[in-house]
Structure 1
Amino acid sequence: MSTETLGSLTLALLLLIAGATVFGQLAAMLRQPKVVGEIAAGILLGPSLLGLLAPDAMARIFGDGAQDPSTVVLGFLYHLGLLLLMFVSGSSARNILGKQDWRPAAWLLGVGTPLPFFLALAVAPLLPLADFMGAAGSEPAVILVFAIATAVTSIPVISKIFYDLGILHTRFAGLVLGVAVVEDIVLWGVLALATAIASATVAAGAGAVAETVAVHVAANVLYVLVAMTVMPPLLRRLGRARCNIVARHTPIAWIVVVVLGYVSVAAALDVTLAFAALLAGFGIAGGVKGTEQERFRIPLAAIENVSAAVFIPIYFAVVGFRLDFTKGFAPLMVITFLLGSSAAALLSTGLAARLAGFRRLDIVNLAVTRNARGGPGIVLASVAFDAGIINARFFTTLVVTAVLTSQTCGAWLDFVLRKGWPLLSGAGVEEPDKPSVSARHWG
């Protein structure tokens, strides 16, 4: 790498990190999720603005073509930010469903999640799927992504919204986050199936798709089962073993080794890497009971701090950078998907909340909050776009929908609290507990 290239790459990182930080803070000051500002910074630096005003300067700074060293390095940092985002998500959400919430959680998971998913599956074949399809040319994969995007709920963004509003400790937050954790694990499994179908379509041709997909699905199912049942207790033993000098003396290095191990095995098995990072966080925290969270509190906090300050903002800024509103923006597609998917999610959650015994304002609060697509919606769009499942126009549609639904969630909950209304009847709004590191930084 020449000095000139290194200098351009350094400037690109400076602009992405500084821009994402500044605009993220501005968004927070305006009571918006930080992710909105971080994506906006990328949009300003990308083809939507800088590329229009000074295309040569943008090409020199951020790279020109897939083989350009700057493009390659920024691509790596983009994926690293995604992996860290998913890892911290998996490691932070533990013990958040109280016993009193098992019944409503069961209704939300049994009705609120599958209903919009299956509604989208039913509607998708009636749509012009060619307008959504990417280079992989796989219609079944597009349909699955369409359904996931309709049903997904954001863990990172709603965690940040809850913290900013001082309600992270409440029953309402515990119920929503607990349901979102289980829901996202299932939906990420479906995304793994979609990427398997897409890769099989490209590599094997239509005749061999079924066999190839069966192998991919089996590998993904086996990976998930092992990661959720065998690995947490195994990692707990390995982390406490006297012979493990890495965990004893440099626990941060041990955590990084675990994450890289999960991702490396996932790559060998063709499992979605972002999903592997989520499961790595689940495993390192001790599984369902989260028994290792306190033990690794300091090293996890250090990783979260650096990730939230540098790598995750880079990821969201690059997401914004890749949005080309001059070519990949279809207003009618955005409006139709935003309204249609929101209606399905709101009505499904409303029905589930009603069956769970909630009434009136409780139902509205749960429905609006669970409609926030946030980080997972953007991650879904990124993974599907990188896999060639969807095209640039649908990628832009998913990202814009994720941002707008998250903004709506934050604005509504802020309005409810300023009115002094309860989020859940009888739950109230108490003084907040000390927030987690991840909750302080994610947007």
Structure 2
Amino acid sequence: MFDSMATAADMRLAILFAGIAVVLLTGVLFGRVARSLRQPIVIGEIAAGIVLGPSLLGLLPGDPTRHLFPADVRPLLSAVSQVGLILFMFMVGWKFEQRLIRPHVGMAAGVSLCSVALAFGLGVLSALVLYDHHDTVGGKHISFVAFATFMGAAMSVTAFPVLARILSDHRLTDTRVGTLALASAAVDDVLAWCMLAYVSALVTSDGDTGDLVTIALRSLVYAAVMFLAVRPLLSALTWWFAGKEQWRPLLVTLSAGALLSAWATTWIGIHAIFGAFLFGFVTPREPARVLAEHVREPLEQISLVLLPVFFIVTGLGVDVGGLSGTQYLELGLILLVACAGKLLGAIVPARLLGLPWHEAGTLGLLMNTRGLTELIILNAAVSLGVLDGQMFTMMVLMALFTTALAGPLLPRGEAMLALRPEARTVVPAPGTG
């Protein structure tokens, strides 16, 4: 009996390994296709996850999805994806540069606050239409406040990491609109994370005011410890390890810290991604060159290998064929609200603040990209029990559409600078501003 149990466990691991291999190879293939279509690689990886799920592969005779990713293997797959996600969120927090915001603080604040306010408001209005059809998840009733706040947060987000890659691909990084988009997206994401943290606390407390206050107080204590104690400790450790050129212990220490911080926020009652992000945010950026070479790059490679597993876990929850005619109308509403909120919310204030129409339109397209950040928020909502399967499918399709929309419509940097030389901007190098 023991041998048969050991064999079953070994087979689960073997199937897990095979599934991850298929995910990685499919992600590379679809990523290359996406690049050929002037799309960021993440579009191809998200599409690969959907293709390997019930929306396409699962429709083939014999349901290959069920054999490739059986039910008893999916929790293991999810665990692997969460490690990749935590490391990725740590890197996002670590790369968050205040220097990007400083040169455009006024305009970035105006664009960001307007786009978030309009997108959030439209998201809440759409919740009025959608709530009655999606107010129960797994037999549990979801409060309208939690559902509406989540819809507002999901509509408000801009994918900062994907945006940076799109700007690089289109050579817009050194343009005024490029740096303004990065600065605005950074503010957007912080506001969206705060809203999601509120939803997380609201759901965890089950609406109980006392529990909600407890979670808020714990969060404040946690933030104070991170900034007042962990930040200076990390700075001292980083310089000590750098002075001795002991990069492996530093890499391990930072990785362990991100995981422990993720555990802490989960214990507090908010999602683990916030712990990873904030730990990255308080991690020192100096000495910049050696940290980038010896610590950041290895961690990025690890997260880039593990992160495609996150896409397949997402894809396994997307069932396009499970949508009915009414839900396609709901999808149309979601797409309309998502695009209107970010496009109008960014273009109008940019024009009022003096940006030409061409640059304001480009800014609106950039702010409308949601990509990976949206998927992180959606998966968090699923784990919290805020979204049912059909809403999850529709929101993932919205994230894919809004991100893919930017590629073919954005101008190249050379064309923009040739048309308007004043559109060029200079961003201070790391450590100089």
Do both share a fold (TM > 0.5)?
Answer: yes
TM superposition shift of 1:189: 1.5
How far does residue 242 in structure 1 lie from its aligned partner after superposition?
7.2
Give 2:185's match in structure 1, choosing from 161, 180, 185: 180
State the partner residue of 1:217. 216
- Residue 69 of structure 2 aligns to which amino acid in structure 1? F
**Correspondence for 2:313 among 318, 338, 354:** 318
Task: Give the gaps of 5 or more residues in structure 2.
Answer: 1-5
Aligned to 1:146: 151
What letter matches 1:102 in structure 2?
Answer: V
Displacement after TM superposition at 1:295 (Å): 4.3
Aligned-pair CA distance for 1:51: 1.8
Any idea what SS the aligned residue of 1:238 has? helix
After TM superposition, give the deviation of residue 31 of structure 1 in Å: 0.9
**Residue identity opposite 1:77 in structure 2:** V
2:131 aligned to 129, 135, 139, which one?
A: 129
Letter in 2 for 1:73: L
Deviations 1:275-314 (CA, angstroms, capped at 9, x unpaired) = 2111122122x2xxx4454342121111102212x11122
Equivalent position SS for 1:220: helix
Is the CA contact (8 Å cut-off) linking 1:422 and 1:428 kept in structure 2?
no
Quick one: which amino acid aligns to residue 16 of structure 2?
Answer: L
Work out whether residues 93 and 178 of structure 1, in 8 Å CA contact, stay in contact via their aligned partners in 2: no
Displacement of 1:89: 1.3
For residues 232-271 of structure 1, the aligned pairs below 5 Å read 232-241=231-240, 250-271=249-270
Separation in 2, partners of 1:249, 1:49: 42
What CA deviation, in whole Å up to 9, does each residue of 1:42-93 have, x standing for no partner? 22221122222144543232122xxx1x222101012122212212211123
State how far apart, in whole Å, the 1-side matches of 2:60 and 2:163 are: 35
Whether the aligned pair in 2 keeps the contact of 1:236 and 1:292 (CA below 8 Å) is no
Is 1:110–2:113 an aligned residue pair? yes
Distance 1:167 1:192, change over 3 A: same
Quick check: 92-101 or 275-284, which moved more?
92-101
Of residues 167, 172, 177, the one that matches 2:172 is 167
Distance 1:175 1:72, change over 3 A: same
8 A Cα contact 1:334 1:397, kept in partner: yes
Counterpart secondary structure, 1:343:
helix
What is residue 438 of structure 1 aligned with on the other side? none
The count of aligned residue pairs is 417
| In 1: Cα distance, 2:183 partner to 2:60 partner | 46
Partner of 1:409: 406
Native 8 Å contact 2:53 2:312 kept in 1: no
Tell me whether 1:11 sits opposite 2:18 in the alignment: yes
1:9-408 to structure 2, matched below 5 A, reads 9-55=16-62, 57-64=64-71, 68=72, 70-97=73-100, 99-121=102-124, 123-124=125-126, 126-133=128-135, 134-135=137-138, 136=140, 137-201=142-206, 209-228=208-227, 230-241=229-240, 250-284=249-283, 286=284, 290-298=285-293, 299-308=295-304, 310-328=305-323, 330-408=327-405
Aligned 8 A contact 1:42 1:321 in 2: yes
CA pair 39-254 structure 1, distance change in 2 beyond 3 A: same
**Does the 8 A contact of 2:101 with 2:108 survive in 1?**
no
CA 1:244 to 1:391, structure 2 compared with 1: closer, same or farther past 3 Å? Answer: farther
Q: Is the 8 A contact 1:162 1:173 kept in 2?
A: yes
Task: Kindly indicate whether the alpha-carbon contact (under 8 Å) linking 2:122 and 2:337 is maintained by their aligned counterparts in 1.
Answer: no
One-letter code aligned to 1:278? F
Q: 1:103 to 1:433 in 2, by over 3 A?
A: closer
Superposition pairs for residues 423-434 of structure 1, below 5 Å? 426-428=422-424
Specify the code of the residue in structure 2 equivalent to 1:126.
Answer: L
1:141/1:357 Cα in 2 relative to 1: closer, same or farther (>3 Å)?
Answer: same
Once structures 1 and 2 are overlaid, which stretch shifts more, 233-242 or 42-51? 233-242
Gaps of 5+ in 1: 436-443
Percent of pairs with identical residues: 26
In the alignment, the residues of structure 1 paired with residue 361 and residue 228 of structure 2 have an alpha-carbon distance, to the nearest angstrom, of: 36
Do 1:40 and 1:317's aligned partners in 2 also have CA atoms closer than 8 Å?
no
CA distance in 2, matches of 1:116, 1:335: 16
Tell me the distance in 1 between the aligned counterparts of 2:55 and 2:343. 32
Question: What amino acid is the match of 1:402?
Answer: A
1:429 Cα deviation from its structure 2 partner: 8.5
For 1:370 and 1:236, the matched residues in 2 are separated by 33
Change (3 A) 1:126 1:216: same
> After the TM superposition, which of the residue ranges 95-104 and 85-94 deviates more from structure 2?
95-104
Normalising by structure 1, we get a TM-score of: 0.85
For residues 214 and 425 of structure 1, do their structure 2 counterparts lie closer, same or farther at Cα, with a shift above 3 Å needed?
A: farther
| Per-residue deviation, residues 334-359 of structure 1 (Å, max 9, x unmatched) | 11111122112211112221232212
Amino acid at match of 2:312: A
Root mean square deviation, CA, Å: 2.9
Give the AA of the match of 1:316: F
Greater shift, 224-233 or 256-265, is seen at 224-233
- The SS at the match of 1:48 is coil
Separation (CA, whole Å) in 2 of partners of 1:423 and 1:131:
49
Distance 2:198 2:419 in 1: 36
C-alpha deviation, 1:371, in angstroms:
1.0
**How far did residue 234 of structure 1 move?**
3.1
